[in-house]
């Protein structure tokens, strides 16, 4: 049974999410459109609008930079995706966006009700523990996404039903920053699920968790631009482009470590690799 103290503590999370809702919704929509909605729906609407804005902002800015401002500098002319390909990726991502944004909405609901190990302020644990917990969180997420992604390839029915939607982009001239969220909605949720599962086992700073979830949109845009950043041990676009052409290498998310440990790493410099289904 919840005590008065625990209820007061959980109220801090509700106040945080209410503040985020107000910041986004009050600046973009008339109050009559969102204020009467239940708190859960307000949170989903905020996540949907913020996620959509972040997707388009990161996609358009990065596409403008690499395809127009520095055209032929980072990517050869024949590797630049067509407008039609990018519009199709946007279409797929926008169909899935309402479902993607259910995950942070549900995770925030679980946090508000005290079902996770989230904490409200860094002062509660101190900076040293904050960074220790953050490192454990990121390792957990890296491990979880690696295996989720790999099983979406290895379990053939899952690949055909879900992940194949994303792998129609299998050449440089079909990949773009907009492909980063062009998934079947269930596929996108499954691959982001480790972020939510981590909350049940790792003490996690609430605002950091929300920030990391939304930074996924920026990260996935970056790793689909086909530019090899050569920043070890980051799983950059050079590695991820190989994943899209071989289907059996470089399943990792932020780093190459899981692929290195489990024998699925293929370096961008290794130009000879075979495409398999």
Better pLDDT: 193 or 237: 193
**Model confidence pLDDT, tens digit, residues 251-272:** 999 999 999 999 999 988 754 4
For residue 4, name the pLDDT band (cuts at 50, 70, 90).
low
Q: Which is more confidently placed, 218 or 127?
A: 127
> What letter does residue 69 receive in the DSSP assignment?
I
- Tell me the residue ranges of DSSP E strands in 10-146: 118-119
Question: In 3-state terms, what secondary structure has residue 2?
Answer: coil
59's CB contacts (< 8 A; 6+ apart) are 90, 176, 177, 178, 180, 221
Q: What is the pLDDT of residue 91?
A: 95
pLDDT bracket for residue 222 (50, 70, 90)? confident
* Most trustworthy range by pLDDT among 26-35, 169-178, 235-244: 26-35
Tens-place pLDDT, residues 52-83: 999 999 999 888 888 887 777 677 777 788 88
Return the higher-pLDDT residue of 173 and 273: 173
Q: Which residues contact 155 (CB under 8 A, 6 or more apart)?
A: none
Indicate the pLDDT class of residue 224, thresholds 50, 70 and 90: confident
**Distance of alpha carbon 123 from alpha carbon 112, whole angstroms:** 19
């Amino acid at each position: 049974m919840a005590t008065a103290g625990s209820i007061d503590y959980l109220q801090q999370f509700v106040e945080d999410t209410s503040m985020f809702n107000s910041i986004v919704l009050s600046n973009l929509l008339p109050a009559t459109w969102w204020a009467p909605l239940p708190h859960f729906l307000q949170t989903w609407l905020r996540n949907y609008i913020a996620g959509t804005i972040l997707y388009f902002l990161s996609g358009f800015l990065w596409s403008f930079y690499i395809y127009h401002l520095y055209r032929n500098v980072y990517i050869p002319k024949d590797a630049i995706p067509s407008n039609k390909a990018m519009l199709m990726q946007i279409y797929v991502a926008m169909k899935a966006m309402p479902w993607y944004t259910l995950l942070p909405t549900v995770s925030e609901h679980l946090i508000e009700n005290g079902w996770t190990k989230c904490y409200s302020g860094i002062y509660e644990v101190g900076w040293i523990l904050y960074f220790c917990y953050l490192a454990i969180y990121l390792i957990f997420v890296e491990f979880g996404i690696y295996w989720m992604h790999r099983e979406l390839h290895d379990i053939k029915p899952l690949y055909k039903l879900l992940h194949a939607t994303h792998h129609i982009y299998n050449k440089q001239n079909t990949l773009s920053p907009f492909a980063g969220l062009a998934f079947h909605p269930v596929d996108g949720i499954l691959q982001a699920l480790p972020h939510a599962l981590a909350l049940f086992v790792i003490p996690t700073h609430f605002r950091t968790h929300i920030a990391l979830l939304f930074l996924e949109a920026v990260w996935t845009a970056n790793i689909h631009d086909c530019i090899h950043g050569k920043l070890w041990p980051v799983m950059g676009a050079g590695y991820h482009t190989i994943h899209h052409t071989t289907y059996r290498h470089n399943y990792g998310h932020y780093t190459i470590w899981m692929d290195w440990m489990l024998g699925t790493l293929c370096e961008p410099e290794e130009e000879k690799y075979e495409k398999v289904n």
